[in-house]
């Protein structure tokens, strides 16, 4: 069997990169208009540091940056004035450099004290830019003013560039479906911050994106709490429609209790213990039925520490809504377990059965049982009905965002897929 050649795909150039380069260009133009006065590198550095993913963040950061700039400038001026008063020390450059370094420590410490630690780096940069050319400083006060002015120019340019948006035509009628397996390899992976930032940007722009996953809501809550979602999510292979904003299950593909009991008994006859997932008062509960196998014990040891997973003693009650039953086996025995699950008549006609190799430990495979009509496609239809019922004036239609066939690499695919959503939802109009 030939080894498939691994392809690498360059991520798209995002708006933040374009805006940062634009801000630097504007700083350079201002430098020209000022008659090449000042230190343009100071403005450019400030613009780069101050550019934030969100415009509202840039405004907040700008205030802190200006405070830290003034602080670094004042500390630099005090250093130069001190050197003028201590000519014997100022002639010994080793001592001067030692004092410069102590000054950096003082500037950083003051930023912490004044609770602008996020801007400490810029304050130290301003301080060093003022003093680093010592003793070739002829007018300390003027040089300090120029450095502070240069930095404030860069900060202001970054804020202005960040709040300016090209006119776009949005398509709110589109409802995007994006499977989490295309942006996260498994439920243990921490989603990169740039993915969360891009999702937030799309949600803030009004894009309706429904995330789909075969995992339980616990993954969504733990990984996506910083994302400002505006749509319910399809979880557990379509067994539930979960709204993270309200901690509410809009739809559940409930397994009838008699069917669940029938499956439990069939598994017990084979000596198989199982995990039962049920919803009570909009909380996901996990029950263990029978003895824990080696595989189930492994999963419990890994997962029970999570504050988002509720492992229960005892068994489910009548009001609990069962949506999934799962047992784990060694992957080497998965084929036999799969054939068994498909062969039992009490299972075949009542359940949809799926199998997945467990992430992080390929040694185990999970066999999942859902209600017979459970699927992501069916839950998508329920979500469309839910959305159209809320807003009948503009009917939503689905758009499925999928990676190219034959490859899977979330690190490269995720930015590409989110870029496709952005381009389909927001059409930039350069002319009115």
43 and 157 share one domain: yes
Looking at the chain, the whole-number percentage of residues with pLDDT higher than 70 is 88
Looking at the chain, the whole-number percentage of residues with pLDDT higher than 90 is 24
How confident is the prediction for the chain on average, in pLDDT? 83
418 and 335 share one domain: no
The whole-angstrom separation of Cα 430 and Cα 432 is 7
Task: Write the CATH number for 350.
Answer: 3.30.1240.10
pLDDT at 237 over 90: yes
The whole-angstrom separation of Cα 74 and Cα 63 is 17
Cis ω for the linkage preceding 135 (within 30 of 0): yes
Q: Count the neighbouring beta carbons within 10 Å of the beta carbon of residue 141.
A: 10
Spatial CB neighbours of 426, under 8 Å, sequence gap ≥ 6: 168, 169, 170, 171, 205, 207
Q: What is the pLDDT of residue 340?
A: 80
In a domain? residue 346: yes
Confidence class for position 104, pLDDT limits 50, 70, 90: very high
**pLDDT winner (highest mean) among 134-148, 245-259, 339-353, 402-416:** 245-259
Which residues constitute the domain of residue 232? 170-252+377-428
Number of domains in the chain: 3
353-370 exposure pattern, b = at least 16 Cβ within 10 A, e = fewer: ebbbebeeeeebbbbbbb
| Range name among 57-66, 164-173, 260-269 with the lowest pLDDT average | 57-66
pLDDT at 1 over 60: no
135 and 54 share one domain: yes
Q: What is the pLDDT of residue 429?
A: 53
Q: What is the pLDDT of residue 415?
A: 78
Q: Which residues pair with residue 234 across a beta bridge?
A: 212, 241
pLDDT at 372 over 90: yes
Last residue of one domain, picked from the residues 352, 372, 392: 372
The whole-angstrom separation of Cα 160 and Cα 30 is 14
Confidence class for position 208, pLDDT limits 50, 70, 90: very high
pLDDT at 283 over 50: yes
Extract the runs of DSSP E, i.e. beta strands, from 100-217. Answer: 168-170, 174-179, 208-212
Confidence class for position 215, pLDDT limits 50, 70, 90: confident
Q: What is the pLDDT of residue 81?
A: 87
The whole-angstrom separation of Cα 43 and Cα 154 is 4
336 and 384 share one domain: no
Q: Count the neighbouring beta carbons within 10 Å of the beta carbon of residue 297.
A: 14
The closest of 195, 147, 104, 126 to 421, measured between CA atoms, is 195
The whole-angstrom separation of Cα 382 and Cα 242 is 12
pLDDT at 316 over 50: yes
Q: What is the pLDDT of residue 23?
A: 92
Phi/psi for 258 (5° steps) reads: -65, -35
In a domain? residue 9: no
In a domain? residue 124: yes
210 and 284 share one domain: no
């Amino acid at each position: 069997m030939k080894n498939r050649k691994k392809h690498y795909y360059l991520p798209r150039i995002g708006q933040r990169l374009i805006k940062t380069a634009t801000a630097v260009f504007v700083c350079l133009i201002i430098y020209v208009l000022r008659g090449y006065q000042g230190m343009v590198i100071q403005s450019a550095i400030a613009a780069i540091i101050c550019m934030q993913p969100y415009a509202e963040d840039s405004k907040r950061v700008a205030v802190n940056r200006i405070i830290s700039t003034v602080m670094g400038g004042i500390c630099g001026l005090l250093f130069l004035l001190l050197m003028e008063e201590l000519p014997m020390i100022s002639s010994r450059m080793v001592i001067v450099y030692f004092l410069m370094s102590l000054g950096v420590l003082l500037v950083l410490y003051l930023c912490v004290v004044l609770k602008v630690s996020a801007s400490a780096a810029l304050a130290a940069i301003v301080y060093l830019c003022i003093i680093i050319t010592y003793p070739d400083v002829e007018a300390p006060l003027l040089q300090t003013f120029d450095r502070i002015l240069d930095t404030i120019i860069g900060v202001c340019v970054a804020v202005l560039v960040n709040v300016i948006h090209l006119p776009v035509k949005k398509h709110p009628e589109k409802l995007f479906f994006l499977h989490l397996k295309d942006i996260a390899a498994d439920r243990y992976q921490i989603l990169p911050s740039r993915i969360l930032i891009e999702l937030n940007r799309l949600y803030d722009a009004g894009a309706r994106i429904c995330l789909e996953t075969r995992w339980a809501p616990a993954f969504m809550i733990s990984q996506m709490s910083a994302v400002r979602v505006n749509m319910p999510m399809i979880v557990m292979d379509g067994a539930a429609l979960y709204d993270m904003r309200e901690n509410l299950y809009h739809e559940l593909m409930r397994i009838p209790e008699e069917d669940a009991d029938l499956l439990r008994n069939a598994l017990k006859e084979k000596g198989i213990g199982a995990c039962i997932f049920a919803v009570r008062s909009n909380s996901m509960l996990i029950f263990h039925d029978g003895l824990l196998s080696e595989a189930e014990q492994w999963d419990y040891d890994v997962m029970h520490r999570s504050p988002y997973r509720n492992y229960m003693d005892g068994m489910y009650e009548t009001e609990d809504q069962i949506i999934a039953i799962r047992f784990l086996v060694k992957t080497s025995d998965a084929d036999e377990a799969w054939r068994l699950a498909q062969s039992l008549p009490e299972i075949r006609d009542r359940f949809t059965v799926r199998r997945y190799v467990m992430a992080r430990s390929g040694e185990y495979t999970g066999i999942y049982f859902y209600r017979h009509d459970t699927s992501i496609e069916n839950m998508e239809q329920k979500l469309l009905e839910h959305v159209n019922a809320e807003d009948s004036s503009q009917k939503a239609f689905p758009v499925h965002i999928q990676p190219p066939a034959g490859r899977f690499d979330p690190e490269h695919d995720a930015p590409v897929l989110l870029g496709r959503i952005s381009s389909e939802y927001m059409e930039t109009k350069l002319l009115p």
